[in-house]
Chain A
Amino acid sequence: MDSPLFRRRAFLGACAGAGGLLFMGGALAWLRGSAPAVDGLLALTPQEHRTLVALCRALFPATPEFPHNADDADLARRFDLFLADEPPWNREDLKKALFLLEFSPVLAFRVSTFSRLDEPARLLHFASWQRSRVLLLRQAAAGFLRILSLMFYDDRAAWPAIGYEGPIHRAVTP
């Protein structure tokens, strides 16, 4: 088995495999592109922040009846602050989920990352996670939606649109 022919085939196979991996890695890096620097992030990288902003905008868009949106609520920044105080295992789980979300359209044979999809496509993609047969994807979707919803609707600027006047007992608000 240790013939020159076999060694050459093995060598060529290894080269092809390595080349394929490099190509895939390069393609993913190209798709991902570079994210703009964001000042003051505590837990997220700029790439993760970009994915999160894209998710927040899809989940909480401005609508005619309810114009207050994810950007108004500074939702990605709030999430970053939240993450900074989480135990390491949760922080890492949520960061991995953001990474997976960013590249999962590629796994669905789309030539785009999540943050490059337009808003309706992002929402559809997120909904596909919610309904996925893969428990991990459903879990990630449920986790993001719950945390971000609580943050969005805790923002007092969201209350007029939902008919809530806020706590009726005037208390010290941090």
Chain B
Amino acid sequence: MTVLDVSALATPPDVDAAVCIVGSGSAGATAAWVLAEAGLDVVVLEEGGDFTGPQLTGRDGPMYDQLYMDRGARTTSDLSITVLQGRVLGGGPVINASDVVPMHDGTARHWVKRWGLTDFSPEALAPYRDRALRDLSVNAPAEEQLNTNNRLLREGTRALGWRGEVMAHNRVGCAGTGTCLIGCPLNAKRNTRFVAIPAALEKGARFLTRARAVRIEGADSDVKTVHVWQLDPRGHHERALFHVRARTVVLAANALASAQLLLRSGIGNAHVGRHVSLQPQLPVTALFKQEVRFFRGIPQAYAITQHERFDDQQHGWWGFRIEAIAGTPGIVSTLMPMGGAEGKALMRRYPHVAAVLCLLPDDATSRLEVESNGRLRIHHGMDAELLGRAREAGKAAARAFLAAGAVEVMIPAVPPVVIRKEADLARVDAMDFAPATVPFLSAHQQGGIRYAPSESDGAAAPDGRVYGTRGVYALDSAGYPSSASSHTMTPIMTTARMLAEQLVTLLGR
């Protein structure tokens, strides 16, 4: 079997299958593998195209256009947060930083205790997590693979006596192209695209690309009909509608897109589209006298873990975490707060810049709304408490960079906040974070179809079945009641395999 690009068809035919999976990322590809292995006839719908090897050109313009939802321009409704979400065969792992950070046992215990998800205990998840780690060929980056950006962050962390770690990753054969966030032209990421999808294809699963699912009909019937748009070859325009008929529909299109599909279909209870965690990230840059050239090598390998904890009564994972980051010129320039000669002068510092992202677990109070034309509106829930942690995180990042010898640190806000010495940190305290003045990012969306043992507390049962439906399941991070991890690839592969195996049993296989 091969991957079928439906944009190449004159008229896409309707399709019948036992299971229709919407989305081909960590959850969708893993579920397809498990279900196809059990002998089920599986069809997977992917809105993006299939990009591997030299098709991943390392160019910002075409790659953000092709590999990201809304061409990389998806934002919250007030433009406070740029929401990065993969839209490509293989999903987020094709464009992520390849960090492997499994769900902490403390977070799993929190889900059991606070949310009643007894099936998600550390003991229950352990074998599935181990399987995910094997599938990812997880390994530790070698010391020589740490680029100057990561080393400087480690140096600053150690100078301050803080905790930090080199994160495990799923690269094999990495040559340090530095373009991980727009795909690896060397196919060095051992991810869904190169593990789960080939395995699922081998077992007979069918993958349709350039296929946008927009509606599910008959969610309480034996057979559901998924309405699907054939997209044009570049994935920008809807061409012809076709249908996939299946007894079981699996939502695995990312938290936002899975909830969006339910909202567009009028399926589910009042919890659908609510309790969304965007896990905002605050970028902080630093200028060094020496060349850093953060755009070469592994962009994100070192993390300051000093300020995170996993035993918060209300949230499980809480506090903040600071991780090195880098990017190609286009995406880095989108963080710059000004134009004109001043803006260009800032970008001329590019080889001397180091950068981090401050990851902020949030309270899952963001919510989604779908307009009549299908447009998704994301209303974020950044409150005073979260912004307080953002200030603390920004100051901690600045301290680490100053300790590593930075000439100056900048939070690229409007106006920019520049820190050259300890006393300047008060400027961070004075930041008001008015919407559309600070380039927050979101890369790990969760929630929107929250799992809960009772319909009064969530949108789906702990086995993934969406309440009010017969045979519609959410198997991706949409079900998470709180942030599972600073990097969701491994947790999603873990829970998707566990839930897909349960689904095989439910379907009598």
Residues of A within 8 A of B (CB): 58-61, 63, 65-66, 78, 82, 85-90, 123, 126-127, 130-131, 135, 138-139, 141-143, 145-154, 158-159, 161-164, 166-169, 171-174
Task: Please determine whether B338 and A169 come into contact, CB atoms closer than 8 angstroms.
Answer: no
Q: Which of A58, A135, A142, A159 has the most CB atoms of chain B within a 10 A radius of its CB?
A: A142
Task: Please determine whether A154 and B60 come into contact, CB atoms closer than 8 angstroms.
Answer: yes
With A65-B348, A138-B434, A147-B73 in contact, do A172 and B237 touch (Cβ < 8 Å)?
no
Task: Apart from A138-B437, A172-B54, list 7 A-B contacts with CB within 8 A.
Answer: A60-B344, A66-B347, A154-B329, A168-B296, A169-B58, A171-B55, A173-B59
Task: Please determine whether B54 and A162 come into contact, CB atoms closer than 8 angstroms.
Answer: no
Closest beta carbon of chain B to A55's beta carbon, Å: 9
Q: Mark interface residues in B59-92 (1 if CB within 8 Å of A CB, else 0).
A: 1111010000001110000110010000000000
Q: Which of A65, A82, A88, A130 has the most CB atoms of chain B within a 10 A radius of its CB?
A: A130
Task: Please determine whether B185 and A61 come into contact, CB atoms closer than 8 angstroms.
Answer: no
What are the residues of chain B within 8 A of A173 when measuring CB–CB? Answer: 57, 59
Task: Please determine whether A154 and B234 come into contact, CB atoms closer than 8 angstroms.
Answer: no
Task: Please determine whether B339 and A58 come into contact, CB atoms closer than 8 angstroms.
Answer: yes
Closest beta carbon of chain A to B488's beta carbon, Å: 24
User: Which listed residue, B61, B343, B345, touches A151 by the CB 8 Å rule?
Assistant: B61
What are the residues of chain B within 8 A of A130 when measuring CB–CB? Answer: 337-338, 414, 437
Instruction: List CB contacts (< 8 Å) of B319-351 with chain A.
Output: 328-334, 336-341, 343-345, 347-348, 350-351
The count of A-to-B residue pairs whose CB atoms sit within 8 angstroms is: 155
16 residue pairs of the A-B complex, CB under 8 angstroms, read A60-B339, A60-B343, A135-B436, A138-B435, A145-B334, A151-B61, A152-B333, A153-B333, A154-B330, A159-B329, A162-B350, A164-B329, A167-B185, A169-B177, A171-B185, A172-B57
Complex alpha-carbon distance, A167 and B330, angstroms: 12
Size bracket, chain B contacts: 35 or more
With A58-B339, A135-B436 in contact, do A167 and B331 touch (Cβ < 8 Å)?
no
User: Which listed residue, A127, A153, A168, touches B329 by the CB 8 Å rule?
Assistant: A153
B175 at the interface (CB under 8 A from A): yes
B163 at the interface (CB under 8 A from A): no
User: Which listed residue, B237, B330, B343, touches A85 by the CB 8 Å rule?
Assistant: B237
Task: Please determine whether A63 and B350 come into contact, CB atoms closer than 8 angstroms.
Answer: no
Closest beta carbon of chain A to B316's beta carbon, Å: 33
Instruction: List CB contacts (< 8 Å) of B353-377 with chain A.
Output: 371, 373, 375
Closest beta carbon of chain A to B117's beta carbon, Å: 37
User: Which listed residue, A61, A65, A164, touches B340 by the CB 8 Å rule?
Assistant: A61
Q: Which residue of B lies closest to A145 (CB)?
A: B339
Q: Which residue of B lies closest to A56 (CB)?
A: B339
Closest beta carbon of chain B to A82's beta carbon, Å: 8
Task: Please determine whether B343 and A59 come into contact, CB atoms closer than 8 angstroms.
Answer: yes
What are the residues of chain A within 8 A of B330 when measuring CB–CB? Answer: 149-151, 153-154
B277 at the interface (CB under 8 A from A): no
Task: Please determine whether B78 and A139 come into contact, CB atoms closer than 8 angstroms.
Answer: yes
B166 at the interface (CB under 8 A from A): no
Q: Mark interface residues in B289-322 (1 if CB within 8 Å of A CB, else 0).
A: 0000001100000000000000000000000000
B461 at the interface (CB under 8 A from A): no
Q: Which of A89, A162, A172 has the most CB atoms of chain B within a 10 A radius of its CB?
A: A162
B186 at the interface (CB under 8 A from A): yes
B266 at the interface (CB under 8 A from A): no
Closest beta carbon of chain A to B409's beta carbon, Å: 20
What are the residues of chain A within 8 A of B114 when measuring CB–CB? Answer: none
Task: Please determine whether A87 and B334 come into contact, CB atoms closer than 8 angstroms.
Answer: no
User: Which listed residue, B55, B82, B178, B415, touches A172 by the CB 8 Å rule?
Assistant: B55
What are the residues of chain B within 8 A of A158 when measuring CB–CB? Answer: 329
User: Which listed residue, B62, B79, B339, B375, touches A143 by the CB 8 Å rule?
Assistant: B79
Closest beta carbon of chain B to A144's beta carbon, Å: 9
Top 9 A-B pairs ranked by shortest CB distance? A167-B58, A59-B339, A163-B351, A154-B61, A149-B333, A153-B329, A138-B436, A85-B236, A153-B333
Complex alpha-carbon distance, A96 and B360, angstroms: 34
Q: Which residue of B lies closest to A59 (CB)?
A: B339
Task: Please determine whether B177 and A153 come into contact, CB atoms closer than 8 angstroms.
Answer: no
User: Which listed residue, A60, A131, A150, touches B414 by the CB 8 Å rule?
Assistant: A131
Complex alpha-carbon distance, A51 and B155, angstroms: 48
With A143-B79, A145-B339, A161-B348 in contact, do A150 and B60 touch (Cβ < 8 Å)?
yes
Complex alpha-carbon distance, A153 and B340, angstroms: 14
Closest beta carbon of chain A to B158's beta carbon, Å: 28
With A142-B79, A164-B329 in contact, do A169 and B350 touch (Cβ < 8 Å)?
no
What are the residues of chain B within 8 A of A61 when measuring CB–CB? Answer: 340-341, 344
Task: Please determine whether B339 and A168 come into contact, CB atoms closer than 8 angstroms.
Answer: no
Task: Please determine whether A153 and B58 come into contact, CB atoms closer than 8 angstroms.
Answer: no
With A85-B234, A85-B236, A162-B348 in contact, do A149 and B59 touch (Cβ < 8 Å)?
no
What are the residues of chain A within 8 A of B350 when measuring CB–CB? Answer: 162-164
Complex alpha-carbon distance, A145 and B58, angstroms: 22
Complex alpha-carbon distance, A141 and B415, angstroms: 13
What are the residues of chain B within 8 A of A58 when measuring CB–CB? Answer: 339-340
Closest beta carbon of chain A to B181's beta carbon, Å: 13
Closest beta carbon of chain B to A89's beta carbon, Å: 6
